[in-house]
Amino acid sequence: MAQAGFASALFDMRLGVERIAMTLLELRRDLLVSRPWRPIASKYNPDQPRVPAGSPDGGQWTSGGDGGDDLSSDFEGALDSLDDTSLDWATGRPRGSAGAWPNATPAQQARLVASELQAQAAIRQVQEIDARWKPPASISEGIEGAIATNQAAVRQAEARLRELQAMGIGPGAFSADSIPARNSYQRFTPSERDEINRIGSRFGCHTCGTTEPGTASGNFIPDHQLPSAFGRSGATQRLYPHCLSCSLKQGGFVRRFRGRK
């Protein structure tokens, strides 16, 4: 079965976040401009409770509930809960959220939340492979600065994914087909080698795309993805064709990765 490469997965992620951003922007526009959910009394009701005398709103009609009758506030509260999660990606400490800039426009607030979600998704994708990676610390000022910081985190995460991909960590740019891996220490069967050679001769090395294995035997090297040093214990692995050059490059990167743990 064909396996989606990093580029395809990243495209799907960014497309999903853009759809979230558009929906959120439209919802905020309705909440903060149209506010269509405020109930309007259709007729006088003598039994409707009033605010007790002595309070600032004493004598005014009330719904009798603890939370008031402005239904739009429920929607705004739900959206505001998203705004309070802004973090400095390098330190993990809270940054200013949409609520920290009361003069921000609804469009700016929506862009901040969308950029936050996009950054979280991009960083999470890298950390599924390299759990210790974080974008560099940055200093931002104002809501536009926070948006720019989130966008920078996305670019840095994309660059890290490309770096990992170039080193053979994760299915490469030329990955098109693979076979299941039985375990990381298996002795490959003739049928497995034949299938990896078939895939390699058709699609090339999954990292660089060459159709020349470069090995003395003329066989492509069955490459476990993700490599065991990066994958979670018990995670399913698949085998992709690797040329000798990319396999050696991957091995050096994995050794350095293990050394910094």
Q: How many angstroms separate the most distant Cα atoms in the chain? A: 94
What ranges make up the beta strands (E) of the chain? 179-180, 221-225, 238-242
Question: pTM higher than 0.75, yes or no?
Answer: no
Q: How many residues does the chain have?
A: 261
First to last CA, the chain: 34
Within 8 A by CB and 6+ apart from 55, the residues are: none
Residue 151 burial (C-beta neighbours within 10 Å; 0-12, 13-18, 19+): middle
Q: Check pLDDT > 80 for residue 17.
A: no
Tell which wins on pLDDT, 12 or 36.
12
Query: Half-sphere exposure of 178 toward its Cβ, with a 13 Å CA cutoff?
Result: 27
User: Which phi and psi angles does 201 have, rounded to 5°?
Assistant: -70, -25
Q: pLDDT class for 257, splitting at 50, 70, 90?
A: confident
- Write out pLDDT tens, residues 143-192: 999 999 999 999 999 999 999 998 999 999 999 999 999 876 778 999 99
Strands 221-225 and 179-180: unpaired
- For the residues 208-237, what does the mean pLDDT come to? 90
Residue found under tokens 């090339």: 204
The 3 state secondary structure assigned to 149-200 is: HHHHHHHHHHHHHHHHHHCCCCCCCCCCCCEECCCCCCCCCHHHHHHHHHHH
